[in-house]
Amino acid sequence: MIDPQEFARLRAEVEEWVRGPGEDWAERIEETGEVPEELWTELNDRGYLRMAAPVEYGGRGLGFVQWMELMDVFSRSHGSVRMIVHVVNGIWRAMDGHADEEQRKRFVIPAITGEIKVAFTLTEPGNGTGADITTSVEREGDTYYLSGRKHLITFGVRCDYWLLLARLEGSAGGEGTVALMVPRDAAGVTVEDTSNTMGVTGTDHARLTFDRTPVPVGNRLGREGEGLEVFLGGFLTPSRISVAMSCVGLAARAQELAVGYARERVTFGKALAQRQAIQFMLAENQADIEAARQLVLHAARRYEEGAADASLQSSMAKMHAVTMLTAVTDKALQVHGGLGYWKSEKIERVYRDARAQRFEEGTNEIQKTVVFRELLRAAGGLKGAGR
């Protein structure tokens, strides 16, 4: 954690970048449909991709709550800018918690300093995103042979490594899962670019097929059977909080655009902002945004403290923030009237980008399942279960 004065200066710097160069990048990305490597370089050179990492790893050393306050700001930029800073500032945690010293030097620190790009590789086309995965490995000596499919893999095309969850052949459930660092240039891999998405334009996504792809056993993070722990505890809990704060930031941007439009747009001799229907919509938006922000910050504090209910808090925050974002962006677009549907208006891009948050790091249905599971566990489980 850095001191409040230094943090205030850093926040002001990020706000200035988002409103200036960040908007220039947004326009360029929307025009070309691509995120150029120069954007990654600029974000890395400015230190924005290692904000939350420890100083001894080359990071800025922000506390998690401080980092979430900056995610609020970054999320007011283009969806692809937000995606880059969100993923890179978080994926090192999943690796670091189970890496040995040699792996820390090979994978964790280079990911933080920008020498390598790592893609979180969990979701499969025929399964969910947890213990039901079927991508498997067979071990022969010091080599795993990886077979299976993954899809919706963010940065799966341009990465240097896939941080991938698989299971030992013949295992079931959480047992036998392994977390592997799979080189992008490994043999037996087919990479299909599936980047043509509704929003978050320019962020690359991939569908991957592995056909007995060789992966050194030395590229396994943690022990056999700890794969789910690497992915769920090491990444998803803080990442859900980060996505929740992304919802808050994007909603704040939508609100800003709606208020600005309502002040300027005149119909029948009156500004929209003078009409009670519009006033009520914007007042509701503001209250909903602030309520979500405080819930997310509470979840961030619980995670930073290492609290037992951090997983519960992260899913509640993500669930609530997504619902809020959906309502706020819909009303913000409505304030713009028909013009908001046109790509000439920034609200159109915000509206498209917002839809991605509904499934990122798990749908609301998944979050509700997690919340109820934790709620039931705290209550002592089902009465009479197992009898």
Q: Are 357 and 250 in contact (CB under 8 A)?
A: yes
* SS3 annotation, the chain: CCCHHHHHHHHHHHHHHHHCHHHHHHHHHHHHCCCCHHHHHHHHHCCCCCCCCCHHHCCCCCCHHHHHHHHHHHCCCCHHHHHHHHHHHHHHHHHHCCCCHHHHHHHHHHHHHCCCCEEEECCCCCCCCCCCCCCEEEEECCEEEEEEEEEEEECCCCCCEEEEEEEECCCCCCCCEEEEEEECCCCCEEEEECCCCCCCCCCCEEEEEEEEEEEEHHHEECCCCCHHHHHHHHHHHHHHHHHHHHHHHHHHHHHHHHHHHHHHCEECCEEHHHCHHHHHHHHHHHHHHHHHHHHHHHHHHHHHCCCCCHHHHHHHHHHHHHHHHHHHHHHHHHHCHHHHHCCCCHHHHHHHHHHHCCCCCCCHHHHHHHHHHHHHHHCCCCCCCCC
CA neighbor of 58 nearest in space, from 81, 15, 89: 89
Half-sphere exposure of 175 (CA within 13 A, CB side): 3
Mean pLDDT of 226-255: 91
Task: Look up residue 205 and give its two tokens.
Answer: 């996504």
pLDDT at position 386 is 54
Catalytic residue IDs: 361
Residue 387 has pLDDT above 50, yes or no: no
**Alpha carbon distance 247, 310 (integer Å):** 19
**Alpha carbon distance 321, 298 (integer Å):** 13
Q: Give the domains, in start order, of the chain with CATH numbers.
A: 4-113 (1.10.540.10), 118-225 (2.40.110.10), 229-378 (1.20.140.10)
**250, 253, 322, 340 from 351: Cα distances, Å:** 9, 10, 13, 9
pLDDT at position 359 is 80
**Alpha carbon distance 122, 140 (integer Å):** 23
pLDDT 10s digits, 140-154 = 999 999 999 999 999
Task: Look up residue 109 and give its two tokens.
Answer: 């620190």
**Alpha carbon distance 101, 122 (integer Å):** 24
pLDDT 10s digits, 162-206 = 999 999 998 987 789 999 999 999 999 999 999 988 888 989 999
pTM score: 0.91
pLDDT 10s digits, 255-300 = 999 999 999 999 999 999 999 999 999 999 999 999 999 999 999 9
**Alpha carbon distance 206, 221 (integer Å):** 23
* The residue type at 305: E
* The residue type at 294: Q
pLDDT at position 92 is 93
183 beta partners:
161
Q: List all residues 6 or more positions away from 56 whose beta carbon is below 8 Å from its beta carbon.
A: none
**Strands 205-216, 270-271: parallel, antiparallel or unpaired by DSSP?**
unpaired
pLDDT 10s digits, 331-359 = 999 999 999 999 999 999 999 999 988 88
Angle between helices 64-74 and 237-264 (to 10 degrees): 40
373 backbone φψ class: left, alpha, beta (φ>0; ψ -120 to 50): alpha
pLDDT 10s digits, 83-141 = 999 999 999 999 998 999 999 999 999 999 999 999 999 999 988 667 789 999 999 99
